[in-house]
């Protein structure tokens, strides 16, 4: 057998072995709805894990913001570890690169993990426990050709917040109705403790729906419209700006 044949056989075997998926990874592959405890309440997070041609890739939504890719994902035995590197500003010092990481394992069909976030000065670390439930695969795209909606419902009362309430009763309410328009004015005092304002939701709950609305926001400001407590439609002053995945109408 020639040297070239040996090299070719070895290369094919190497590629085959490299592309084989680790059995320990497979239970993690997919998307996960995370429950993130926060001050006695539960916030939502999201995790996606992929087996990308022999490499582990993952993306994370932690409390707020948008889904971002993790810098490194790997297996430690049967545990999954994800890491992210971020710039943190430190007083009287240049920005510091801080690595946060989360280590998680499976207990039946429940994902349990701890996220570790060192302080920028390196003198402490915050640990946050969380759990996750795997989401089912997306169903086939529905056929909307025969879809019929009911009579339209006006969600806003002309003079009050009737039919609406805060998502968290312990937060301040900056919402009001002015001239038939829903307004949010989260004013902060000049020399006092920071006020945490709440999000607003409808008392009524809906299944399939077609929501239509108009928005008016100040320059460089943004907000969001949450649907079913999971998805957020970005409301942002992005008119005339270059196309970006975080502009007006973006889906989180």
Q: What is the distance between the alpha carbons of residues 45 and 196, in angstroms, rounded to a whole number?
A: 20
pLDDT number for residue 231: 82
Least confident piece of the model among 6-10, 22-26, 91-95, 202-206: 6-10
Record the tokens describing residue 109, joined without a space: 């069909």
Instruction: Tell me the longest C-alpha to C-alpha distance in the chain.
Output: 88
Q: Which residues of 5-28 are buried (b: 16+ CB within 10 A; e: fewer)?
A: eeeeeeeeeeeeeeeeeeeebeeb
Helix, strand, coil percentages, rounded to 5, for the chain: 10, 45, 50
DSSP SS3 for 15: helix
Token pair 């894990």 in the structure block, residue: 49
Q: What pLDDT score does 5 carry? A: 45
The CATH number, out of the four listed (1.25.40, 2.40.30, 2.40.128, 2.30.29), of the domain defined by the range 26-134:
2.40.128
Long-range interactions of 211-217: CB distance < 8 A, separation 24+: 216/181
Q: What are the sequence ranges of the domains in the chain? A: 26-134, 164-236
Determine what percent of the chain is predicted with pLDDT higher than 90.
54
Q: Are 164 and 129 in contact (CB under 8 A)?
A: no
* 178 — pLDDT class (breaks 50, 70, 90): very high
Q: How many CB atoms lie within 10 A of CB 90?
A: 13
> What's the pLDDT score for residue 21?
61
Phi-psi region of 63 (alpha: psi -120 to 50; beta: other; left: phi over 0): left
All residues at 6 or more sequence positions from 155 whose CB lies less than 8 Å from its CB, including other chains? 163, 202
Chain segment 118-165, per-residue pLDDT in tens: 988 888 999 999 999 999 988 898 888 888 889 999 999 999 999 999
CA distance 74 to 55: 9
Say what percent of the chain tops pLDDT 70.
Answer: 90
Q: Are 59 and 68 in contact (CB under 8 A)?
A: yes
pLDDT of residue 15: 37
The three-state secondary structure class of 210 is: coil
pLDDT of residue 9: 42
Q: What is the pLDDT of residues 184-193, one digit of tens each?
A: 999 998 777 8
Residue 1, pLDDT > 60, answer no
Count of Cβ atoms closer than 10 Å to residue 137 Cβ: 8
232 falls in which pLDDT band (50, 70, 90)?
confident
C-alpha closest to that of 128 among 186, 45, 248: 45
**Structure confidence at residue 80 as a pLDDT band (50, 70, 90):** very high
Tens digits of residue pLDDT in 8-54: 443 444 433 343 567 899 999 999 999 998 777 788 899 999 999 88
Q: Dig out the tokens for 241 from the structure.
A: 């700006």
In tens, the pLDDT along 101-117 reads: 999 999 999 999 999 99
- pLDDT of 93 strictly over 60: yes
């Amino acid at each position: 057998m020639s040297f070239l044949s040996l090299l070719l056989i070895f290369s094919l075997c190497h590629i085959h072995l490299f592309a084989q998926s680790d059995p320990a990874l497979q239970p993690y592959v997919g998307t996960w709805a995370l429950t993130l405890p926060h001050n006695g309440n539960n916030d939502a997070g999201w995790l996606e894990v992929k087996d990308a041609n022999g490499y582990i890739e993952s993306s994370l939504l932690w409390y707020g913001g948008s889904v971002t890719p993790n810098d490194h994902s790997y297996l430690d035995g049967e545990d999954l570890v994800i890491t992210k590197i971020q710039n943190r500003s430190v007083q009287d010092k240049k920005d510091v690169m801080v690595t946060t990481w989360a280590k998680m394992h499976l207990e039946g069909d429940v994902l349990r993990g701890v996220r570790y976030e060192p302080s920028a000065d390196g003198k402490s670390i915050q640990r946050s426990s969380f759990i996750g439930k795997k989401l089912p695969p997306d169903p086939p795209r529905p056929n909307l050709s025969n879809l019929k909606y009911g009579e339209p419902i006006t969600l806003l009362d002309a003079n009050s917040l009737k039919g609406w309430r805060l998502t968290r009763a312990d937060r301040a309410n900056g919402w009001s109705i002015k001239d038939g328009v829903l307004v949010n004015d989260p004013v902060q005092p000049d020399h006092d403790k920071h006020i945490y304002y709440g999000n607003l939701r409808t008392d009524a709950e809906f299944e399939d729906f077609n929501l239509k609305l108009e928005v008016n926001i100040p320059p460089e400001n943004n907000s969001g419209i949450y649907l079913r407590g999971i998805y957020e439609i970005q409301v942002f002053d992005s008119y005339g700006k270059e196309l970006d995945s975080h502009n007006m109408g973006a889906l989180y």
